[in-house]
Amino acid sequence: MEKSPQLPGKTTAIVAYLTIVGALIAISMNSEPKDKFARFHIRQAFGLHITFIGFAIFNAQWGNAYGFYGLYIFYIVLWFYAFLGLLAYKEQAVPVLGPYFQKWFTFIN
């Protein structure tokens, strides 16, 4: 059985999608050598995690249980979309928010 060739930055990008802590670890993993593919997906993952946390805090104050269902569905669908793009080795941004994540999180090099 042949091993597939290791694509640069793919492991770092996978770590970024695990949790917000994984995104922070991936930022440090991508410090040297810098990889464009990993940077793209780290920004996407970091944006997804921050958006989820922000809306979860807002919804906790609002107090609607059905809002949490919608939030989780929104998060899981976008997460799978982005993760499948990662596995296909594509730089495909999540719908609507993806281009904004690339602009807002330019501190992630």
Give the Cβ contact number of residue 22 at 10 Å: 19
Task: Tell me the two tokens of residue 60.
Answer: 């906790």
* Domain total of the chain: 1
Range(s) of the domain holding residue 29: 10-104
Its pTM stands at: 0.87
54: in domain = yes
Compute the distance between CA of residue 66 and CA of residue 107 in angstroms, rounded to an integer: 35
4: in domain = no
Tens digits of residue pLDDT in 40-79:
999 999 999 999 999 999 988 877 788 889 999 999 999 9
Res. 27: pLDDT tops 90: yes
Indicate the pLDDT class of residue 109, thresholds 50, 70 and 90: confident
What contacts 24+ positions apart, CB below 8 Å, involve 89-97? 89/7, 89/10, 89/37, 91/37, 91/40, 91/41, 93/44, 94/44, 94/47, 94/48, 97/47, 97/48, 97/51
Indicate the pLDDT class of residue 5, thresholds 50, 70 and 90: low
1: in domain = no
